[in-house]
Chains A and B, each alone.
Chain A
C-alpha cells in the first residue's frame, strides 16, 4: 500500500507539472505560432516590434527560464513539506 504522504506528494507534483506545461505551450505554440498574427494586430507592441513576433524571437525564451526557476523553487518546497529533502 502507498503511504498517504507519498500519494499527496505525487498528486501535488503532477498538478505543478501540468500547470507549468500549460504555460509552456501557451507562450511558445500559442503566442509564438498559432495566435501570432492575432497578437501582432491586436495587442500593444514591444518597442517597435509587434508582440507576437517578439514572443517568437525573445519572449518565449525568457518565459522558459522563469518556468524552470519556478519549478525548482516549488519542487524544493514540496520535497521539504513531505520530508523528501536531503540537505
Chain B
C-alpha cells in the first residue's frame, strides 16, 4: 500500500472514531452545549483539556522551532507548561467555585458592570481569533502536505472541515472526542521519536538519547556535542546557545505563562468537572498528559536537526531522497541552486561564500559584516523552508515505516482540529451568550442563542482562514504566542486581582484591561503588519514577549485608577471572600 493510501486510511479511521463519539453524545440543549452537564471525570477531563491545549502550535510547530532555534526554543517548552502551574494554583479552583460558565461572566459579575463584561467579550474575541489564525495555518500545512496541494487551498479545505466538525458535537461531543484525540496525538508524536532515537543513539527512550551519545557515525560522541558541531560548521549558532537575548527570552516565557493562565478556552474546561477538589486533580492529569508530549518535543527537534543536515546538506540535487520532492511539490521546501553546482548547500547566518566559491564561516555577525559581502555571497543558503514543516518531514528523513507517517498525519489533524473546535466554541459562546443574551437582547431563546453561536463560528472561521493564508508571522508557534501575549495583558491581571483583592473596583479593572490589551495589540500590529523594524523594539523585546509589559501596564493602571474610584459594593466583596472557600461549589449545569 503506498503512503497516500495509508494516510487516507488512518485519517479516515480517526475521523470515523471522533464523529462516532460526537454523534452518540450529540448536544440537545444549550446548557449541555456549553459545559457538558458538569459530570466529566477528572481523568477524562484532563485528557480532553490536554488535547484542547495542544494545538497545531505545539504539535506541528514547536519541535521545528526547537530544531531551528535550539536553546531559544525552550521558551515555548517552559512557557506553555509553566503557565499551567499559575493556572491551577491561582485561577481555576476559585473560578470553578464562583461557578459561572464563561470568563466574561465572571468579569461581569465580579466587577458588577455590563461594560466590564463587554470589554471582556472583546478581549476574548481578539485572543481566540489570533489563536485560531495559527490553527488555520496548521490545518493548511497539514492538508497541503496530505493532498499535495498549495497551502492556500489546504487552509480553505481545513476551515470547512473544522466548521462542520465543531458545529456538530457541542461541548459534550467535544469532551469525549478529545479524549480520543489525545490518544491519537500522544502516540503519533512519540512513536516516530522512538524509531529515530534507536537509529541515532542506540537508546530506546528518546529523553535518554537526548542526553546520551550519538552513534550513527560509528565513533560515539555526546549527542549534544555532535549537534553543536554540525550547527557551527554550517554557520548557525550553537544548538545549546540559540540566538535570542536573555531579556527577550525572559519576557516571552513570562508572556506565554501568564497568557496560559488567562486563556478563556482553557479556563472554561475546568467548569466541566464536579467540584473544586476534582478541578485540582484534573489539572494534575492535564499537565501530566501534556508533559508526555512536551518532554518528547526537544528530542524530536534535536534529532530532526541532525537528520535534516545529514540527509540534505551536500547532497546532489538529482540524487536527493524521494521524500524531498513531496515537500517541493507543495512549495514548503525549496532548493535554489545559487552557485549552479547542482549540490544542495544548507547554510546559516554566519556562513558566506568566498571569492573562489567555497563556503566559509565567520566567527561573529559583526566580523561577517566587516567583510562587506552582498547578495549570494553574503547569503549562500540554498535550502529554504519554514520550521512548521519539520515535524512532518522528520519521519521521512529518518526513514520510518509508512504507517508511522500515516499515524503522524492523523495526529497533526487531530491537534489542529481539536483546538480550533474548542476555541470556536468559546468564541461563539462569548458572542451569543455574553454579548447578545446578557447585554444586547436578554429575551433571546435557547434556540436562537445556539443559532447565533453558529453564525459567529462561521464568521470567525472565515476571518481566521484569511489570516491562515496570509499569516502574521513566520511560523505557527509565533502567531499563537501573540494570542498568549494578548491574554497575559488582559485577562490574567484582571482575573488575578478579581480573585485575590476584594477592593478592586470596576473602574480600575476596565481601565487596566483596555490599556493592557490596547498597548499589546498596537505593538504587535505595528511590528508585524506596519513594518516596524527590529531595531526599534522597546527594551529589545520582540512582539512575542510584549504581553509581559502589557501585563505590567494593566496592573499599574488598575491599581492607580482604583485609588481614585469608589469601593465595590458589599455583596461583591462578600462574593470574593466566598470563592476562597472550596466547598459548596454549584453544579456546572445549574446556571
Interface residues in chain A, defined as those with a beta carbon under 8 Å from any beta carbon in chain B: 2, 6, 9-10, 13, 17, 20-21, 24, 28-29, 32-34, 40, 46-50, 53-54, 56-58, 60-62, 64-65, 67-69, 71-72, 75-76, 79, 84-87
Contact = CB atoms under 8 A, between A and B. Distances in A.
5 contacts: A29-B254, A68-B283, A75-B93, A76-B277, A76-B280
A84 B207 CA distance: 41
B295 interface: yes
Contacts of A60: 77-78, 81-82
Nearest to B73: A57
Interface in B570-587: 577, 580-584
B583 A85 contact: yes
Given A20-B85, A50-B240, A61 B249 contact: no
Q: Report which residue of A6, A64, A69 has the largest number of chain B beta carbons within 10 angstroms of its beta carbon.
A: A64
A14 B208 CA distance: 38
A68 B294 CA distance: 16
Between B71, B74, B287, the greatest number of chain A beta carbons within 10 A of the residue's beta carbon is seen for B74
Contacts of B352: none
A61 B77 contact: yes
A86 B277 contact: yes
B11 to A, nearest CB: 30
B89 A58 contact: no
Contacts of B584: 86
Nearest to A84: B583
A10 B580 contact: yes
Interface of B: 66, 71, 74, 77-78, 81-82, 84-86, 88-90, 93, 207-208, 210-213, 222-225, 240, 246, 249-250, 253-254, 257, 275, 277, 280-281, 283-284, 287-288, 291, 294-295, 298, 577, 580-584
Contact of B224 (A17, A20, A48): A48
A62 B295 contact: yes
B240 A53 contact: yes
Contact of A72 (B223, B224, B284, B577): B284
Q: Most A CB atoms within 10 A — which of B78, B84, B90, B249? A: B78
Given A46-B211, A61-B295, A68 B81 contact: no
Contacts of A64: 81-82, 84-85, 287, 291
Contacts of B89: 17, 20-21, 71
Contacts of B77: 56-57, 60-61
A86 B583 contact: yes
